[in-house]
Chain A
């Protein structure tokens, strides 16, 4: 009988400081590479892992690295509670434990052949980063691709190096709530952004990671563009303990974020009992 709760050992091979309270951790398996799923990738963009730091507990994190990268996975950790504080004190070479990848991920087969609008804010960048990496690798499969990324201040924008790199292949649109004097991007999730987006609303899909920017993005960007709710996919966050559909913490209506999600069709989940 497989022990679904038993994590495997990984080593921190790199730590990057991305903002005053967010660090990136690169995790490598003790031996060998991460295995490939039936799609030929290490995980589906949007899937997550449960990271254990024994003594402090276990929590879910979206994978931020490329799904084609089998040597390691990257996670972004914001200092929010006890476990994440403890993670921030670790150093390169320290060990952690991992379970997963879990969840469904974005419907990449449905999305291919279409224009894609990704909208996210603050700490919601990891699943979009993985999706962006996937799209860029399979560029010929997709139409026009946009990543709209908002943060509180310019200093809170994460994965800045990647944002620059991605901008060569897709259009990256940045926006902040509180600009500094050097800021050249947008301010707020505003309707002005719509003017920069040229998609065929009947053949476009949107991917969002909420909850922060979700409602504004809907009102000012996706609705004005005419993207139907059925073509919007949302990556959800809930309290999670087991990751395998048993503990009942992460439910949204009759669905489990850990197993049926974390990616849901917006039309379907919008009406669900929370």
Chain B
């Protein structure tokens, strides 16, 4: 038995859910879903400079995110893991605990790797429901969903993504990336020439989660906010300490560090690369660097060595 919702009823269903949740459609947003739990910039604490009182800021709300890409749903599962281990990131989970993730996917699904509830397109008029947990189950309203024994199902194949297949062998990727640096592969000099060091690839990445913290004081010197904001390991001062010493002086080192984090360190820490092959970095890179191609070349040369 399958649970089906008609395409034309989805809007209505969301209006009903809108009573309990702030419904956000992320489908046309440039920045990935992470921004709702780990905002570009957020205040963590307020500190009254006169009374010396420290307050934790709570900006969480019941939020429902509509996500159309399976990759981005998978990325949320991975980001949850990153923010969970070894200790829970308080400010991420403060927001994430109150949220639900709903996938509305226009391609056929073998296994959904993320989200609480996923709607899969099965024909021009209908979507099939995948309930992943109780959070997702609570969203089902009888009025909109019907049980069907054998719904009419058309196959909507996903776009071929060679890079996604490469990710399946994260061990090979980790070895190849590390080898490319140790053996002075020419690609890193070429990329250092190209890369603008702007950090856009890290902002649009659904998994990048570098941040920095900073205190901001009101003009009348009465209040201070401790903020955290997105940082990017490709920015010049990312590894610079007080006194001026910089552990990653050149863009070549910084750009390699981005790959090292995603494909080497992440693999050793979590057993998989911190990448879901969504292609956002490639699509938004102002220098036109095709990250997938870079990895393909490295892996090809690694196998030939």
Distance to closest chain B CB from A144 (angstroms)? 34
Contact assessment for A1 and B88 in the assembled complex, using a CB-CB cutoff below 8 Å: yes
A54-B47, A58-B213, A251-B261 given as contacts; is B89 within 8 A of A238 (CB)? no
Q: Which residue of A lies closest to B240 (CB)?
A: A239
Q: A57 to B215, Cβ gap below 8 A?
A: yes
> Is A142 at the interface (CB under 8 A from chain B)?
no
- How long is the Cα–Cα vector from A40 to B247 in the complex, in angstroms? 36
* Structural contact, B90 and A4, CB atoms closer than 8 A: yes
Q: How many residues of A contact B (CB 8 A)?
A: 39
Measured CB to CB, the closest approach of chain A to B259, in angstroms, equals: 11
Count contacts between A and B, CB distance < 8 Å. 108
Interface membership of A153, Cβ < 8 A: no
- Interface: B157 (CB within 8 A): no
What is the CB-to-nearest-CB distance from B37 to chain A, in angstroms, rounded to a whole number? 13
CA separation between A238 and B238, bound complex, in Å?
11
A248 CB contacts on chain B under 8 angstroms: 209-210, 233, 261
Contact of A238 among B231, B233, B241 (CB under 8 A): B241
Q: Does B214 contact A (CB under 8 A)?
A: yes
Closest to A56 in B: B215
In contact, B211 and A247 (Cβ under 8 angstroms): yes
Residue of A nearest to B269 (CB): A254
- Among candidates B242, B253, B265, residue contacting A253 with C-beta atoms closer than 8 Å: B265
Contact of A55 among B49, B240, B257, B260 (CB under 8 A): B49
**Cα(A122)–Cα(B242), bound, Å:** 15
Q: Are B241 and A239 in contact (CB under 8 A)?
A: yes
Task: Establish whether residues B241 and A2, one from each chain, have CB atoms under 8 Å apart when the complex forms.
Answer: no
Shortest CB–CB separation between residue B174 and chain A, in angstroms?
Answer: 9
A 214-236 to B, binary, CB cutoff 8 A, 1 in contact else 0: 00000000000000000000000
Are A274's CB and B241's CB within 8 A? no
Q: Which residues of A contact B181 (CB under 8 A)?
A: 273
Please provide the chain B residues from 28 to 65 with a CB less than 8 Å away from any CB of chain A in the complex.
Answer: 44-45, 47, 49, 52, 54, 56
Contact A241 B212 (CB under 8 A): yes
Contacts A54-B224, A251-B261, A274-B248 known; A2 to B211 CB distance under 8 Å?
no
Interface flag for B130 (CB, 8 Å): no
By DSSP majority rule, is chain A's interface helix, strand, loop, or mixed? loop
A165 in contact (CB, < 8 A): no
Which of A7, A83, A239 counts the most chain B CB atoms within 10 A? A239
Q: Do A273 and B217 form a contact, CB below 8 Å, given A1-B93, A95-B52, A248-B233?
A: no
Residues of B within 8 A of A242 (CB): 211, 213
Interface string of A186-219 (1 = CB under 8 A from B): 0000000000000000000000000000000000
User: B residues touching A (Cβ–Cβ < 8 Å)?
Assistant: 44-45, 47, 49, 52, 54, 56, 82-83, 86-91, 93-94, 178, 181, 209-215, 217, 224, 226, 231, 233, 238-243, 247-248, 253, 256-257, 260-261, 264-265, 268-269
Mark A residues whose CB is within 8 Å of B: 1-7, 9, 52, 54-59, 80-84, 95, 97, 237-239, 241-242, 244-249, 251, 253-254, 259, 273-274
A-B contact pairs, 20 of them (CB 8 A): A2-B88, A2-B90, A6-B56, A7-B54, A9-B52, A54-B49, A56-B215, A84-B242, A97-B54, A239-B238, A246-B89, A247-B210, A249-B210, A249-B212, A249-B238, A251-B261, A253-B265, A259-B86, A273-B256, A273-B257
